[in-house]
Amino acid sequence: MIPLHWYLLVAAGMFALGVYGVLARRNMVAIIMSIELMLNAVNINLVAFWRYMAPENLNGQAFAIFVFTVAAAEAAVGLALIISIYRARETVVAKEIDMLKW
């Protein structure tokens, strides 16, 4: 069997990489992808804790499904915003969209 901390370490690594991506990438699509990574790392944690701490309880799985839902909604709206901004300003570089209104 695999000990719990292996899963947690993988999830932590994925989360840290996601944080780096959000901070370091210029392209907004790449930033959204990094956010997806972070949400997924959280999901791995949820499921790992569910399996190792309380498998007879459903809450871990149910929470994971709701995280999926929120992640999907976030991606849908976020990407739509990117498309909208691209059409208005011809750019997808996060740094160039800093005027709060146009």
Partner 1 sequence: MGEWTFIALLFVISLILPAVPILAGRILGPRKPNPLKNSTYECGVETVGDTWVQFDVQYYIFALVFLVFDIEVVFLYPWAVAYGQLSLFGVVAGIVFIVTLAEALLYAWRKGALEWV
Partner 2 sequence: MVITPVTIAFFIMAAFTLGGSLGVVTNRNLFHAALYLILALFGAAGLFVLLEAPFLAAVQVLIYVGAISVLIAITIMVTRRIMGVESANRQWPLSALVGLLLAATLGFVIMDRFAGKFPVAGVPDDSLTRLGMALVSYEGMEAYLVPFEVASVLLLAAMIGAIVVARK
Token duo for residue 69 = 């839902």
What does 97 bind: partner 1, partner 2, none (CB cut-off 5 to 8 Å by kind)? none
On whether the CB atoms of residues 26 and 82 are closer than 8 A, the answer is no
The phi and psi torsions of 93 (rounded to 5 degrees) equal -90, 125
Instruction: Go through the chain and tell me how many residues it has.
Output: 102
Closest CB 74 distance from partner 1, rounded Å:
11
For position 72 contacting partner 1 by CB under 8 A, the verdict is yes
Q: Which of these ranges, 16-24, 41-49, 64-72, 93-101, lies near partner 1 under the rule CB under 8 A?
A: 64-72
- Per-residue contact track with partner 2, 52 to 81, x per CB under 8 A? xxxxxxxx-xx-xxx-xxxxxx-xxx-xxx
For position 88 contacting partner 1 by CB under 8 A, the verdict is no
Give Cα separations from 7 to 4, 26, 59, 70, 99 (angstroms).
6, 30, 19, 23, 42
Which residues have CB under 8 Å from 32's CB, separation 6+? 75, 78, 79, 82
For position 97 contacting partner 2 by CB under 8 A, the verdict is no
For position 4 contacting partner 1 by CB under 8 A, the verdict is no
Q: Which residues bind partner 1 (CB under 8 A)?
A: 65, 68-69, 72, 75-76, 79-80, 83
